[in-house]
Amino acid sequence: MPNVDALMIRRAGVITLVVGVICTVIGGVVAGSTGALGGVLGTVLVIVFFSAGQAVVGRTIKNNPQMALTVALTVYLVKIGILFVLLIVLQDATWFNTKVFAITIVACTISWTVAEVWVYSGTNVLYVEPERKP
């Protein structure tokens, strides 16, 4: 069975990157270079945050599976909280288009989440370790 975490990061990352490129192109057409920059920044931010979160949750599942749900929820809340703070702090920035930035973050977050559901629904993850016979 392939490593579910690596599979998740690859598939979700590729899907999110495609959505981010589409948002960046649309942002560039609509708002010029500042729109394209906002799209690139939003895409990179989501891919980095969600990849790091997946790595933390995957490591926790391997080392301490009892804490998996707690860590997953905590990582998710921290990611969303940081993204929210960034949106508030950068709302008046003039060097990139903040609307394209925000829309790209939302679109990429949704695409990552959909890809996560798709990968997890297609993999057979053992919930109970079978007994080992000597």
pLDDT in tens, 105-118: 999 999 999 998 88
CA distance 84 to 114: 20
| Total structural domains within the chain | 1
DSSP letter at 132 equals: P
Residue 125: the pLDDT is 61
Q: What is the pLDDT of residues 7-60, one digit of tens each?
A: 888 999 999 999 999 999 999 999 999 999 999 999 999 999 999 988 898 888
Domain membership of residue 127 (yes or no) is no
Note whether residue 46 is domain-resident: yes
Q: Please give the span between the terminal C-alpha atoms of the chain, in angstroms, as a whole number.
A: 23
pTM of the model: 0.81
33, part of any domain: yes
Range of the domain at 63: 4-117
